[in-house]
C-alpha cells in the first residue's frame, strides 16, 4: 500500500513537471537555461535594441507601433521583477520577435531609399563627367568618394543582416544614407553658387538644408537619430527668419487718404454703388 502511494505521488510529480513549459535553449549552443535566466537575458537584450530603433521606428513606421513595443516590454519586465519567470520569459521572447520584425521593416525602408539615392547620385556623377569646362570638375571625386563610402556601408549592412545582426545592419545603412545625402547636397550647392540670397529664395532655397534632397529629408534626419517632425519645425523657423532678413515678409501698404495717389491709382475707375 505504501509503495502504491509513493508511486502515485511520483506519477503526479512527473505530470506536474510535464505541465510546466520546457526550459529554453540559449541562442548559442544546446545548453538549456532556466526561465529566470532566459527572461533576464531578453530583458537586457530588448531594452538595448529598443533604444537603438526608437527614433527610426517613430520616423519610418509609427509612434504607436513603438509605444506597443515599449508597453509589451514593461509588462514582461514587471513579471520578471515579480518572480513570475516563465510568464516573463514568454512575453519578453515575443517582444524580442516583434522588435526584430520592426527592425526588418525599417531596414527594408532604408534599403529601398539607398538604392534610389544611389542611382540619383550616380546619375549626377555621370552628368558632371560629360560637362566640359563647367567649373564643377572638383565635384566628381567628391561625389564618387561618397558613392564609394555608401556602397561599402551597404555591403557591411547586408553582411550584418545575413549574420542575424539586424541592429548593426541598420547602423551601417544609416551611414550609407548619410554619404548619399552628402553627394547630392554638394551637387545642389554648386548649382546655386554665386547667387544672392534673394536669387536663392526664388528657387525656394532659404536655408542650407534646402539644398538637401527633399524627397529624403526624413531618412537624412533618421540617419542622424533625430526626430523628423522636430527637425522640420526647426527648419521652418529658420526659413521664417531668412524671409525676414531678406524682407520677403513685408506686405505692400495700401495708400491712405493723406498719401498722394500714384499714376496707376489715378487711372483706376471709381467704383459704382
15 located within any domain: no
Quick check: is 116 in a domain?
yes
Grouping H, G, I as helix, E, B as strand and the rest as coil, residue 271 is coil
User: Is 12 a member of any domain?
Assistant: no
The answer to the question of residue 93 being in a domain is: yes
How many other C-beta atoms lie within 10 A of the C-beta of residue 56? 24
Query: Cell numbers 520578471 label which residue?
Result: 80
Assess whether pLDDT exceeds 50 at residue 123.
yes
Domain limits for position 68: 31-246
Domain membership of residue 176 (yes or no) is yes
**What predicted TM-score, i.e. pTM, was given to this entire model?**
0.77
* Cell numbers found for residue 71: 508597453
- pLDDT tens digits, residue range 178-209? 999 999 999 999 888 888 999 999 999 999 99
Q: How far apart are CA 53 and CA 96, in angstroms?
A: 12
**pLDDT, tens digit (0-9, with 9 covering 90-100), for 60-93:** 999 999 999 999 999 999 999 999 999 999 999 9
Asked whether residue 117 is assigned to any structural domain, the reply reads yes
Our count of domains for the chain comes to 1
Structural domain contains residue 180: yes
Give the separation between CA 78 and CA 87, rounded to whole angstroms. Answer: 10
Distance between CA atoms of residues 223 and 225, nearest Å: 5
Please check whether residue 166 is in contact with residue 107, taking contact to mean a CB–CB distance below 8 angstroms.
yes
In a domain, 3, yes or no: no
**Nearest one of 89, 90, 46, 87 to 70, comparing CA atoms:** 46
**Whether the Cβ atoms of residue 221 and residue 174 lie closer than 8 Å to each other:** no
Amino acid at each position: 500500500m505504501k509503495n502504491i502511494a509513493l508511486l502515485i505521488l511520483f506519477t503526479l510529480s512527473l505530470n506536474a513537471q510535464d505541465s510546466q513549459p520546457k526550459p529554453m535553449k540559449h541562442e548559442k549552443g544546446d545548453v538549456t537555461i532556466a526561465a529566470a535566466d532566459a527572461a533576464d537575458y531578453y530583458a537586457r537584450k530588448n531594452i538595448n535594441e529598443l533604444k537603438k530603433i526608437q527614433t527610426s521606428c517613430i520616423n519610418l513606421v509609427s509612434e504607436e507601433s513603438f509605444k506597443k513595443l515599449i508597453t509589451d516590454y514593461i509588462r514582461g519586465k514587471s513579471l520578471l521583477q515579480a518572480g513570475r519567470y516563465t510568464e516573463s520569459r514568454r512575453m519578453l521572447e515575443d517582444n524580442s520577435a516583434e522588435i526584430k520584425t520592426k527592425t526588418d521593416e525599417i531596414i527594408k525602408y532604408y534599403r529601398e531609399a539607398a538604392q534610389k539615392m544611389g542611382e540619383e547620385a550616380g546619375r549626377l556623377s555621370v552628368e558632371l563627367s560629360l560637362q566640359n569646362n563647367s567649373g564643377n570638375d572638383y565635384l566628381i571625386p567628391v561625389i564618387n568618394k561618397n558613392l564609394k563610402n555608401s556602397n561599402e556601408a551597404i555591403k557591411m549592412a547586408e553582411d550584418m543582416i545575413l549574420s542575424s545582426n539586424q541592429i548593426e545592419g541598420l547602423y551601417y545603412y544609416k551611414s550609407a544614407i548619410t554619404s548619399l545625402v552628402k553627394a547630392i547636397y554638394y551637387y545642389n550647392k554648386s548649382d546655386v553658387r554665386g547667387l544672392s540670397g534673394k536669387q536663392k529664395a526664388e528657387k525656394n532655397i532659404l536655408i542650407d538644408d534646402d539644398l538637401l534632397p527633399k524627397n529624403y529629408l526624413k531618412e537624412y534626419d533618421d540617419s542622424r537619430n533625430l526626430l523628423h517632425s522636430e527637425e522640420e519645425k526647426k527648419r521652418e523657423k529658420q526659413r521664417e527668419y531668412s524671409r525676414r532678413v531678406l524682407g520677403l515678409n513685408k506686405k505692400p501698404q495700401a495708400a491712405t487718404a493723406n498719401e498722394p495717389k500714384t499714376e496707376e491709382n489715378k487711372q483706376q475707375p471709381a467704383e459704382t454703388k
